[in-house]
Amino acid sequence: MPPRRPLTAGFDFMMTPQQYLIEHQARHIGQLCDYLRLPSVSAQASHREDVGRCAAWIEAHCREIGLNTELHPTRGHPIVLARTPRRPGRRPHFLVYGHYDVQPPEPIELWASPPFEPRVEGHSLFARGASDNKGQHFAHLKAVEAVLATGGELPCDLTFLIEGEEEVGSANLVPFLKQHRKSLRCDAVVISDTGMPARTLPALTYALRGIAALEVIVRGPSRDLHSGIFGGSLDNPAMALARMLAALRDRRGRITVPGFYDQVRPLTRNERRQLARLPFNERSYARFLGVPKLFGEAGFTAWEQRSARPTLEVNGLTSGYQGEGSKTIVPAAASAKLTMRLVPDQSPDVIARLVARHLKSICPPTVRLETRAGHGGLPYLLEPDTSLARAAMRTLELAFGYAPVLLREGGSIPIVTDFKRVLGADTLLLGLALPDDNAHSPNEKFDLRNFAAGARLGTLLWPELAGALAA
Ligand code: BES
Ligand code: ZN
C-alpha cells in the first residue's frame, strides 16, 4: 500500500535527522509502548489473532512514516514488507530485518509488572519484546522516519522485512524469500537483534550459533500406576529419562554423543585473542546469572563456551504429577525438549540424528523411546574484514561514542544463512540489547539510551554503507 500521507510539518525540514530524533523522542517511546502492548506470542495458538493484529499495526505504522507497505499472509503469521520510496536508477539496496513476534511471557508471576503493559523506570522500558526484538527494529524505523521527515535523502533503497515467526523457527520465511527473490535481492542485510557487552561497548557480531531442536519422549506403562501397588516391579520413565539425559554430558562439560564434535571448526588463535580482550569477571558474572558457580566445557573461557562452542541443553522436562500436594504414581511417560547450539561447520540435521541415535543406543529395554526432530538452523560466520563491516564499525563508533568490538554470539537467527543462500547477501548484525535486558526471561527490558543510539545509528548507517559499496 502507498503511504497514507506525508508525515512532516514544515519546520522539521530545518532540522537534522539527529535533532528530529531528540525532538520527537517522547512521542517515539509512546509509539513503541503501543507496539509492545500487542501480545504477539507466536508460539501460542491462543495469541494467533494478537499476532495478526500486531502485524497490521506495524504495517500501518510503516505506512504512516512514509514507507510503501505490503502485508503478506503465510501459512503461519504474516510477513510485513515496507520500502522507502524508490528513486530512478540503480542504487544500493539494503534489507533491514526484524521480528514482531515475541517469546511467551511465562512465568507471569515473576514479572514486577504485567508483560504487555509497558512501564518506564529510569532508563529502562519493561515489556515482553522490548529488546527482543520490537525496540531494536523500531529504532531503525524511527531513523528512516527522521531522515524522511527532515527532507533528507537516503543514498540507497531500503526494504524492511518484519516477520512474525522468528521465535518459532521462521518456517514460512524461506519460501517467501525464494518467491520474492527478485525484489528482495540486496547488497547486504542489516539486523539489530543481537547484543552488545556493555553500554560503552557497541559490537558488530560476525558469528551466530546454529540450532537443532529435538523432543524426547520415554514411555513406560500404558497408564499412570499406583506407585505403592506396582512400584518396584517396573522401570520409572521419569527416572529412565533422567539417567539418559544426565549421560549426555560428562563431568568436564563435553557432550558424549559420538561424532558431536567431528565437524566443529576450531577457533583461530586470533579469535581467541580477540575474545580474551572482552571484559569478564567470573564472580560478578556468576552473581549476575544467580548461580553458585560457573560450569562449562573445560579448556575454554566463558566467552568461548557461550558463543563459539557447541552445546546441548534441556529446555524443558516433564513427567508425572506437577500439581499441588502429592500423588503417588509411576508415571506413564516422561519427555524432554532439547536444543543443541551449533558452530561452523556442524549441520542441524546431522546433529539431531546423532543425538537421537545415541539416545536410542543408551535407552534401557524397560521403556520405549520416541524422538521428534524440531526446527533447525545453520551456524553463521561472516568475514569481519570487509569494507561493509568496517563501515558498520565506524558508524557504531559515531552513534554510540565508543569504539566497537567484534563479537561472536551464542544465540541463533537461522534466517541469516538463508539471506546468504537465497539472496546472496551478507548480514551485518548490529545489536542494541544489553546483557541484563532479560531476553526470553521475566522482566524483559530495553535501555532507552540504546533505543536513542540505535535510531542515531540508523540515520548515519546508510550513507556509510552506500559509500563503502561505491569505494
Ligand atoms: N534475538 C534472538 C537471537 C540472539 C540473541 C542472537 C542474542 C544473538 C544474541 C532471537 O530472537 C532468538 O531468540 N532466536 C532464537 C532462534 C530459535 C527459536 C530458532 C534462539 O536463539 O533461541
Ligand atoms: Zn528471541
pLDDT at 263: 98
pLDDT at 88: 87
Residue 220 has a CB neighbour count (10 Å cut-off) of: 24
Distance 58 CA to ligand 2 centre (A): 18
Residue with cell 521475566: 442
Cell triple for 88: 530512478
- Pocket test of ligand 1: the residue of 167, 209, 343, 436 to mutate, having most ligand atoms within 8 Å of its CB, is 167
Distance 414 CA to ligand 1 centre (A): 8
Instruction: Assess whether the C-beta atom of 409 lies below 6 angstroms from ligand 1.
Output: yes
Ligand 1 atom nearest to 167, measured from its CA: 18
Ligand 1 atom nearest to 339, measured from its CA: 22
Ligand 1 atom nearest to 377, measured from its CA: 19
Task: In whole angstroms, give the CA distance from residue 186 to residue 423.
Answer: 7
Instruction: Assess whether the C-beta atom of 220 lies below 6 angstroms from ligand 1.
Output: no
Q: Whose CA is nearest to atom 4 of ligand 1?
A: 411
* Residues of the chain below pLDDT 70: 1-11
State the Cα angle at 379 between 373 and 383, rounded to 5°.
170
Instruction: Assess whether the C-beta atom of 195 lies below 6 angstroms from ligand 1.
Output: yes
Instruction: Assess whether the C-beta atom of 118 lies below 6 angstroms from ligand 1.
Output: no
Dump pLDDT digits (tens) for 111-128.
999 999 999 999 999 999
pLDDT at 7: 53
pLDDT at 13: 79
pTM for the whole structure: 0.94
Instruction: Assess whether the C-beta atom of 331 lies below 6 angstroms from ligand 1.
Output: no
- Which residues have CB under 8 Å from 434's CB, separation 6+? 131, 195, 196, 198, 199, 447, 450
3-state secondary structure 64-105: HCCCEEEEECCCCCCEEEEECCCCCCCCCEEEEEEECCECCC
pLDDT at 1: 62
Q: Which helix (H) or strand (E) holds 258?
A: none
Query: Is 372 within 8 Å of 214 (Cβ atoms)?
Result: yes
Ligand 1 atom nearest to 440, measured from its CA: 13
Instruction: Assess whether the C-beta atom of 411 lies below 6 angstroms from ligand 1.
Output: yes
pLDDT at 122: 98
For strands 203-208 and 380-381, give the pairing.
antiparallel
Instruction: Assess whether the C-beta atom of 167 lies below 6 angstroms from ligand 1.
Output: yes
Distance 102 CA to ligand 2 centre (A): 7
pLDDT at 3: 59
Delimiting residues of CATH 3.40.630.10 domain(s) in the chain = 17-208+379-470
Helices (H) and strands (E) in the chain, counts: 14, 18
- Pocket test of ligand 1: the residue of 131, 133, 311, 412 to mutate, having most ligand atoms within 8 Å of its CB, is 412
- Which residues have CB under 8 Å from 421's CB, separation 6+? none
CA 139 to the chain's CA centroid: 16
Q: Which residue spans within 73-223 are E strands per DSSP?
A: 79-83, 93-99, 119-121, 124-126, 157-163, 188-191, 203-208, 210-219
Instruction: Assess whether the C-beta atom of 414 lies below 6 angstroms from ligand 1.
Output: yes
Residue 316 has a CB neighbour count (10 Å cut-off) of: 10
pLDDT at 89: 87
pLDDT at 95: 98
Ligand lying nearest the CA atom of residue 411: 1
Instruction: Assess whether the C-beta atom of 429 lies below 6 angstroms from ligand 1.
Output: no
Q: What is the CATH number of domain 210-264+310-377?
A: 3.30.70.360
From its phi and psi, is residue 6 left (phi > 0), alpha (psi between -120 and 50) or beta? beta
**CATH architecture under which domain 17-208+379-470 falls:** 3-Layer(aba) Sandwich (3.40)
CA 320 to the chain's CA centroid: 32
Query: Is 196 within 8 Å of 279 (Cβ atoms)?
Result: no
With 0-12 / 13-18 / 19 or more C-beta atoms within 10 angstroms meaning exposed / middle / buried, residue 257 is buried
Question: Which protein residues have their CB within 5 A of the ion that is ligand 2?
Answer: 132
- Pocket test of ligand 1: the residue of 136, 342, 413 to mutate, having most ligand atoms within 8 Å of its CB, is 413
Interhelix angle 387-400/448-470, rounded to 10 degrees, is 150
pLDDT at 14: 87
- Pocket test of ligand 1: the residue of 40, 166, 340 to mutate, having most ligand atoms within 8 Å of its CB, is 166
What does the chain come to in residues? Answer: 471
Delimiting residues of CATH 3.30.70.360 domain(s) in the chain = 210-264+310-377
